């Protein structure tokens, strides 16, 4: 009898944004480079799941309930090595400073630059060996 290990699901990107059109557009972009994603309309929704299956979290900053900055704090308390990239349509210096102080992996301005997002994900996959 052959023993096999259970298959691990492929790495996935968590996309957290209260706007469905942003979530689905990002998911489509990631699909174009064969990267799986899981979509969440709130940070609290993401926190109900096992964070270990994600290679990165892409989160909007300004959302009802739990903000992206607060989500970053919670994720780092639960999974300190999980990168979190924060996105905002209002990329002022104060948001950037707060994101950097909290240890955000990246700070992205909306509308997102598709090439920059792809480069970020591919670089992360290369550095983690999960490509």
Let me know if residue 109 belongs to a domain.
Answer: yes
Assign residue 45 the CATH number of its domain. 3.40.50.2300
Let me know if residue 118 belongs to a domain.
Answer: yes
For residue 109, give the nearest of 126, 83, 87 by alpha carbon: 87
The helix (H) or strand (E) run that includes residue 22 is helix 20-31
Let me know if residue 121 belongs to a domain.
Answer: yes
Radius of gyration of the chain (CA): 15
pLDDT tens column, 95-113: 899 999 999 999 999 999 9
Q: What is the mean pLDDT of residues 14-34?
A: 97
Q: Domain total for the chain? A: 1
Let me know if residue 97 belongs to a domain.
Answer: yes
pLDDT for 10: 73
Q: What is the mean pLDDT of residues 61-84?
A: 96
State CA 88 to chain mean position distance: 13
Range of the domain at 117: 12-128
State CA 1 to chain mean position distance: 41
As beta bridge partners, residue 56 has 13
Let me know if residue 3 belongs to a domain.
Answer: no
pLDDT for 130: 64
Let me know if residue 1 belongs to a domain.
Answer: no
Q: Give the number of other CB atoms < 10 A from CB of residue 42.
A: 18
Instruction: Show contacts of 18-25: CB within 8 Å, 24+ apart.
Output: 18/42, 18/60, 18/63, 18/64, 19/60, 22/60, 22/87, 22/110
Let me know if residue 7 belongs to a domain.
Answer: no
């Amino acid at each position: 009898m052959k023993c096999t290990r259970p298959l691990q699901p492929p790495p996935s990107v968590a996309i957290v944004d209260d706007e469905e059109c942003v979530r689905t557009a990002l998911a489509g972009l990631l699909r174009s480079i064969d990267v799986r994603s899981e979509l969440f309309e709130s940070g609290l929704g993401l926190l109900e799941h096992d964070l270990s299956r994600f290679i990165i979290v892409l989160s909007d900053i300004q959302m009802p309930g739990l903000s992206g900055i607060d989500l970053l704090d919670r994720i780092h308390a639960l999974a300190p090595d999980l990168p979190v990239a924060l996105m905002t349509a209002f990329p002022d210096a104060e948001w950037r400073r707060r994101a950097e102080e909290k240890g955000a992996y990246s700070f992205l301005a909306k509308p997102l630059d598709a090439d920059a997002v792809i480069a970020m994900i591919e670089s992360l996959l290369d550095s983690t060996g999960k490509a």
